């Protein structure tokens, strides 16, 4: 039986100061389901993760932000921690990438302080989301509605509050990423098979095709 996310690519964006479990647990959950994962950061090399206020492990960067686009991936995960999202929201390419994913209607998941990137990308206006509680004023000022929930889903945007929410967050991104990506692949296949100028055949056109075929010797 094929894994839910086999042959699907998911991008993680993070930098120094990322909360380690908010990077590693979603990564492990998606990896178990067969997803191809990429960690991107502003600079090549390694990033330093944190366990709250203590240094954690370092993680190798696969790609730099300048080398990628949303078109290369099926979904996006934004881990939290305080320092990583705070640095990334000042990085124009990071903000642009977040906006690209949302404008392309691709699934995006953000936990904890990663909602800062959504605010900076002007992606919360008219949406309902959650985050680390201290961000609620920022979200409301940017036109969003903040709720205090383990996981909040608004269309293809999935958000959570904190590390304690990770089991619910990881479970939801696996299910929703798989479903959203599957629907996108079906839509793409239909568009390629039936361009806008050639709508899918309905009963009438099928009947005409059948009639023409039967009329031939």
The distance from CA 101 to its chain's CA centroid, rounded to whole angstroms, is 7
Q: Phi-psi category of 111—alpha, beta or left, where left has phi over 0 and alpha has psi -120 to 50?
A: beta
Residue 33 and residue 75: Cα distance in Å, rounded?
14
Q: Name the catalytic one among 113, 156, 161, 162.
A: 113
Structure tokens at 144: 């969003």
Q: Name the catalytic one among 112, 157, 173, 181.
A: 112
Residue 216 CB-half CA count within 13 A: 5
58-67 own/partner pairs: CB under 8 Å, 24+ apart: 59/14, 59/23, 62/38, 63/38, 63/39, 64/40, 65/13, 65/40, 65/41, 65/91, 65/93, 65/94, 65/97, 66/93, 67/40
Residue 41 and residue 34: Cα distance in Å, rounded?
22
Q: Tell me if residue 52 is catalytic.
A: no
Which active-site residues does the annotation give? Answer: 112-113
């Amino acid at each position: 039986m094929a894994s839910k996310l086999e042959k699907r690519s998911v991008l993680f964006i993070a930098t120094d100061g990322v909360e380690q479990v908010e990077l590693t647990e979603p990564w492990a959950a998606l990896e178990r389901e067969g997803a191809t994962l990429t960690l991107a950061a502003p600079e090549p090399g390694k990033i330093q993760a944190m366990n709250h206020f203590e240094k954690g492990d370092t993680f190798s960067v696969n790609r730099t932000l300048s080398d990628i686009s949303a078109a290369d991936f099926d979904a996006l995960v934004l881990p939290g921690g305080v320092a990583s999202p705070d640095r990334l929201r000042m990085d124009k390419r990071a903000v642009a990438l977040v906006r690209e994913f949302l404008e392309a209607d691709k699934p995006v998941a953000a936990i904890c302080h990663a909602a800062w990137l959504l605010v900076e990308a002007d992606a919360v206006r008219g949406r309902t989301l959650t985050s680390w509680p201290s961000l609620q004023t920022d979200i409301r000022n940017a036109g969003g509605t903040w709720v205090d929930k383990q996981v909040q889903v608004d269309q293809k945007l999935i958000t959570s509050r904190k590390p304690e929410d990770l089991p619910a967050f990881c479970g939801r991104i696996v299910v929703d990423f798989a479903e959203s990506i599957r629907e996108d692949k079906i839509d793409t296949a239909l568009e390629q098979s039936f361009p806008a100028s050639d709508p899918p055949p309905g009963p009438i056109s099928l009947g005409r095709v059948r009639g023409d075929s039967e009329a031939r010797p």
